[in-house]
Structures are given as structure tokens and as C-alpha cells.
Chains A and B, each alone.
Chain A
Amino acid sequence: QVQLVQSGAEVKKPGASVKVSCKTSGFTFTYYAMHWVRQAPGQRLEWMGRVDPASGKTYYSQKFQGRVTITRDRSASTAYMELSSLRSEDTAVYYCARQEMGKVGAIYHYAYEYGMDVWGQGTTVTVSS
């Protein structure tokens, strides 16, 4: 079945970096964009960025530009999100989520009409001294 399985909880000190993985199965990895969304305790969902697995192109929220790096390993059907220069405000649950790409001929393109239809279970990242 379709699954997104994320790596386990992390505890980091301020200034450190964290890398969260999202291993996918049950579908063709390159047909779906992979988003990263976080949620601080009691707060709303916050989009961080996405990677288009076929091309590897990445797009980031202006808020996290320069601090976040999203990558993918096509051979392992896995996406990664690395956040650097951590501070206490980065304490949150981090989710990966897939979104179907559109296709015209042999070219895949981002499709705004599709939502994020499968989510990982979330990874809790705690930043504390």
C-alpha cells in the first residue's frame, strides 16, 4: 500500500542541524512532488518547500530560504529535509506529503489542482539547550 514513513524523533541543540527522511513505497516516486510541512505546538500548518523528484528541482518558502535543503534519492524512493541553524522556534512536528504531478506528453509538471493526498506520520523535532 501507499506509505510515507518518516525517520524518528530528534532532539537538537540551538545552532545545530537536523535531517529528516521520508521513505516512500507503493507508488512511482517520480510521479509525485514531495512537500515538507511543519506544525509547531498548537499552531497552524506551515509549508517549508517541495522537491519534484523527476527533475530534482526544489522550491522553498521565503521564510526558510537559506536554512532548508530538500533533496531526494530516486534509487531509494526517499525524500529528505535538512534544516540548519536551529532555534527553539523550530520545535515542531515535521511532515512530508506527496502531491501528484501532471503530465503533458512525456513532461511532468506541477499540478495546482491536486492536493497533498498522502502524508507521513510526522517527525517531532525538539530544539532545546
Chain B
Amino acid sequence: QSVLTQPPSVSGAPGQRVTISCTGNTSNLGAGYDVHWYQQVPGTAPKLLIYDNNNRPSGVPDRFSGSKSGTSASLAITGLQAEDEAEYYCQSYDSDLSGSVVFGGGTKLTVL
């Protein structure tokens, strides 16, 4: 199982707002490590969506936002669009694993 826990699936209708949680512990998110979020459409490589907890790379719509508090982080998507249907992964680091990169288990977003 993953060090970072995400819900297996979330869903929402077009135009709605959804959030995806990422729960860790005191050796990863709670240790102050930054969290990043990736979007992966099936059959393609992941795409960086949010870095450093709440920053968007250029080209990522402002419908996507991130936040982090303590041992948890979340990704929010507003104004849901059909093209947002994808798998979403959170990523951070873990001091119990010598600072290794860790990924969440992934969350499948379905746009109804």
C-alpha cells in the first residue's frame, strides 16, 4: 500500500467542484515536505498539475488549486470539465525512507 493515502475514486458533474485528499503522517507531509500533484490520462505520461503545495506550472488552468495543512493535502478542481477525467496522484517525500520520493495510490476522477 502507498505511504500517501488517496480515495480510489471521486466524481462530479460538469461545472461542479471536486476535491481529492492526500493523507500522510509525521514522516512525510507532517515533516514539512512539499506536495505535488499530477494528472494522468490513460495511456499517457503524468503531467505536473500543482507543485510546492499550491503553485501551478504555466499552462495549467486556475480551475486547479492545491492546499496543505499538517499531515494532509488536497487538490481542488472547480468548473469541472469532461477533459478533467483522469487519474490524479499526489507526491511528496518520506524521512523514514531516507527522503525518498513517495506517491499516493491515485484517484480516478469521473466526470458524470
Give the interface of A toward B (CB within 8 A).
35, 37, 44-47, 50, 59, 61-62, 95, 97, 112-117, 119-122
Contact = CB atoms under 8 A, between A and B. Distances in A.
23 contacts: A37-B101, A44-B2, A44-B105, A45-B40, A45-B106, A47-B100, A47-B101, A59-B98, A59-B99, A62-B100, A97-B45, A112-B34, A113-B34, A114-B51, A114-B52, A115-B48, A115-B57, A116-B38, A116-B48, A117-B57, A119-B45, A119-B46, A120-B45
Contact of A115 (B33, B36, B100): B36
Given A62-B97, A114-B52, A47 B45 contact: no
A44 B104 contact: yes
Contacts of B91: 45, 115-116
Given A44-B105, A116-B48, 7 more contacts: A44-B104, A44-B106, A45-B103, A97-B45, A112-B34, A115-B48, A117-B57
Contacts of B106: 44-45
Q: Is the interface of B mostly helix, strand, loop or mixed?
A: strand
Given A44-B106, A117-B51, A112 B93 contact: yes
A116 B2 CA distance: 19
Interface of B: 2, 33-34, 36-38, 40, 45-48, 50-52, 57, 89, 91, 93, 97-106
A46 B45 contact: no
B46 A95 contact: yes
B95 to A, nearest CB: 11
A97 to B, nearest CB: 8
